[in-house]
C-alpha cells in the first residue's frame, strides 16, 4: 500500500455532522480511479498510525487519469479517532492517501432504469457516479433513492434537486424516516418505496450503498421482485 502526500485545500460543511474535504494529491499525475472507488487515508495521532477508507465523491477526470484533486465526503463520528482528528484540521493541513481501491464501480454505459439506493453518507460513491453520468450526457432513465432522517440530513441537497429539475431522465426519490411537519414525500425506510416508483425489475441493475440493514433488505427485495442477483452491486458503510 503506497501512500502519497495529500493537502486539504478546501473544507465545506455539507450538513451538521458531515464535511466535504477537497484534497490535492502530490503525485496526482499518476493517480487514476473509477467512479465508485475509495481511498485509504493515514494520519499520525500522538504516535499512533490510524487508517480509514473513504469513498471518492468527485467524478474521474475526463481522460480517466491524472487526478490531481479528489473530493471525499466524511461523516464525523464523535469519539472516532480518525474523524475527530480530520474534523480538527484546517485547510492547508497535510495527510496521506493511498489507492484507489474497490470493485463497487459504475458499469458503463448505464442501463435503462438503473437504480441507485443510498442512506446517509452512503451517497458519496454515487456523487462520483452520477456526476460522471450527467457530465457524459447519458440519456438513459435512472433512479436515485436516498434515505435520511429529515430534510436537514440530505447531503448535497442543492445539487441533487437541481439534477432532478434539469434532467427528465433522472428520478430523485427522497425518503425520510423522521419527517418534518408538512413533508409530502416518501416516509419510512427507503427500501420499502421501490414498487411505488418502478413497475418491473427484470433486466435492470441496482447499486446499493449505506447502512448494512438497508443494503441487505434492499438486495433481498430486489431479487424477490425479479432482479438477477448478479445485477445487484453493493457497498456497506
What is d(CA 221, CA 195) in angstroms, rounded to the nearest whole number? 10
3-class state of residue 180 by DSSP: coil
Q: Using CB atoms within 10 A of its CB, is residue 76 exposed (0-12), middle (13-18) or buried (19+)?
A: middle
Largest CA distance in the chain: 55
Q: Do domains 4-101 and 114-236 have the same CATH topology?
A: no
The answer to whether the CB of 218 falls within 8 A of the CB of 206 is: yes
Give the pLDDT score at 44: 95
Lowest mean pLDDT among 62-66, 180-184, 214-218: 62-66
Residue 218: other Cβ atoms inside 10 A? 26
Architecture of domain 114-236: 3-Layer(aba) Sandwich (3.40)
Strands (E), 66-166: 69-75, 94-101, 114-119, 142-148
Give the pLDDT score at 28: 59
Mean pLDDT on 186-193: 96
Asked whether residue 31 carries a pLDDT value surpassing 90, the answer given is no
| Third-level CATH fold of 4-101 | Elongation Factor Tu (Ef-tu); domain 3 (2.40.30)
Strands (E), 4-110: 4-15, 18-25, 38-45, 48-55, 69-75, 94-101
Strand partners of residue 195:
none
The reported pTM is: 0.95
pLDDT tens digits for range 78-87: 999 999 999 9
In the chain, % of residues over pLDDT 90: 90
pLDDT tens digits for range 84-116: 999 999 999 999 999 999 999 999 889 999 999
Sign of the torsion formed by the C-alpha atoms of 28, 31, 37 and 39: negative
pLDDT tens digits for range 141-184: 999 999 999 999 999 999 999 999 999 999 999 999 999 999 99
What is d(CA 108, CA 127) in angstroms, rounded to the nearest whole number? 15
Q: Parse the chain into domains and list their residue ranges.
A: 4-101, 114-236
Nearest by Cα to 34 from 117, 98, 122, 101:
101
Amino acid at each position: 500500500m503506497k501512500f502519497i502526500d495529500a493537502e486539504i485545500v478546501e473544507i465545506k460543511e455539507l450538513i451538521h455532522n458531515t464535511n466535504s474535504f477537497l484534497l490535492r494529491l502530490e503525485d496526482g499525475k499518476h493517480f487514476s480511479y473509477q467512479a465508485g472507488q475509495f481511498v485509504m487515508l493515514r494520519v499520525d495521532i500522538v504516535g499512533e498510525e490510524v487508517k480509514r477508507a473513504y469513498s471518492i465523491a468527485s467524478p474521474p477526470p475526463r481522460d480517466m487519469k491524472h487526478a490531481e484533486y479528489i473530493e471525499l465526503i466524511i461523516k464525523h463520528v464523535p469519539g472516532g479517532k480518525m474523524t475527530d482528528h480530520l474534523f480538527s484540521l484546517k485547510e492547508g493541513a497535510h495527510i496521506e492517501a493511498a489507492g484507489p481501491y474497490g470493485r463497487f464501480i459504475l458499469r458503463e454505459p448505464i442501463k435503462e432504469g438503473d437504480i441507485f439506493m443510498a442512506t446517509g453518507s452512503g451517497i458519496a460513491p454515487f456523487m462520483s457516479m452520477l456526476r460522471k453520468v450527467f457530465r457524459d450526457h447519458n440519456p438513459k432513465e435512472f433512479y436515485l433513492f436516498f434515505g435520511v432522517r429529515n430534510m436537514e440530513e440530505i447531503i448535497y441537497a442543492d445539487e441533487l434537486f437541481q439534477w432532478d429539475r434539469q434532467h427528465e431522465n433522472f428520478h430523485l426519490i427522497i425518503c425520510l424516516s423522521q419527517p418534518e411537519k408538512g413533508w409530502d414525500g416518501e416516509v419510512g425506510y427507503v427500501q420499502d418505496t421501490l414498487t411505488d416508483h418502478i413497475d418491473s425489475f427484470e433486466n435492470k441493475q441496482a447499486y446499493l450503498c449505506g447502512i448494512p440493514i438497508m443494503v441487505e433488505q434492499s438486495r433481498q427485495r430486489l431479487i424477490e421482485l425479479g432482479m438477477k442477483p448478479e445485477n445487484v452491486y453493493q457497498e456497506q458503510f
